Amino acid sequence: MTGTGGLRVEGAVKVFFTGTPNEVRALDGLSLDMRPGDFVTIIGSNGAGKSTLLNAVAGTFPIDHGEIWLDDKELTQRPEHLRAQSIGRVFQDPRAGTAPSLSIEENLCLAMLRGKRRGLARGLSASRRASVKGQLSQLGMGLEERPRSAVAKLSGGQRQALSLLMATITRPQLLLLDEHTAALDPKVAATIMDLTTQIVTRERLTTLMVTHNMELALSRGNRLMMMHAGRVILDVAGADKSSLTVPELVRKFHEVAGETLASDRMLLE
């Protein structure tokens, strides 16, 4: 076992609207075990609990039962901002990951301080400015030419590229991606996805990526998990995953879930 970023979730239960007619078991005793450096893609129909899983790991809300561990640290009770020291996230909405009225370089500067004590030292010191520029040029979007423009002025794709950089710039132990290309048009989505693969591979980040695109789920990462009704119902890795095709995946889903796909979205994209 090398590196850090082993994620272990054991028997996670999350119920919303407990005790009301609308009660939902979004996570129903879910367990998973990721090795450091695993790049796991997650698929599953609408409402399967994929986003809930990522939120539970990041600490957006506490889970009702179960445990969450990152390497040898138990996260279960930790508040979100402390977990964020070692977890980077990119959301589906490109607006979610950046502060619009701050400049590009200020946003990156905030991200460089992930998990550090923020004090009264100058935020954008000369050295941070220089390093920000270098990082921006790696995106290949020309953002390094205009580090002082407000993020509000960027396109969705540019914002998402920036969010991705912000989530990974400190090389977090775990990267959570929740359909982070779903809100972009196909060409931009492909660019962001390539960038994602590039960064994840280069930095060897342990990554959990939710997607609705089966092709993508099969072509990226070293491991694929399928979720249904708050559990992981399929977990394939390595050679098994490489040889898997979309029709086989659909058939497996029917086998395991024993019902038709709730969503056409999952098939079509």
Ligand X SMILES: Nc1ncnc2c1ncn2[C@@H]1O[C@H](COP(=O)(O)OP(=O)(O)OP(=O)(O)O)[C@@H](O)[C@H]1O
Residues that bind another protein (CB under 8 A): 58, 79-82, 84-85, 87, 89, 95-102, 106-107, 109-111, 113-116, 118-124, 166
**Nearest distance in Å: CB 17, Mg ion:** 17
Residue 110, binding choice from ligand X, Mg ion, another protein, none, Cβ under 5 to 8 Å by partner class: another protein
Among 18, 31, 46, 198, binds ligand X (CB under 6 A): 46
Site string for ligand X, 5-34 (x = CB under 6 A): -----------x-------x-x--------
Would you call 183 helix, strand, or coil by DSSP?
Answer: coil
Query: Strand, helix or coil at 234?
Result: strand
Structure token digits, residue 117: 């004590």
Binding to Mg ion (CB under 5 A) within 37-56 occurs at 51
Which residue in 5, 37, 38, 51 binds ligand X (CB under 6 A)?
A: 51
Q: Which residues fall within 8 angstroms of residue 222, CB to CB, at 6 or more apart?
A: 38, 39, 40, 237, 238, 241
Q: DSSP secondary structure string, 195-219?
A: HHHHHHHHHT-EEEEE-S-HHHHHH
Instruction: Find out whether 41 and 223 touch, Cβ atoms under 8 Å.
Output: yes
Partner from Mg ion, ligand X, another protein, none contacting 115, C-beta within 5 to 8 A by type: another protein
- According to DSSP, residue 185 is labeled -
Least distance from C-beta 9 to Mg ion, angstroms? Answer: 17
Estimate to the nearest angstrom the gap between the alpha carbon of 179 and the chain centroid: 8
Residues lying near ligand X in the complex (CB under 6 A):
16, 24, 26, 44, 46-52
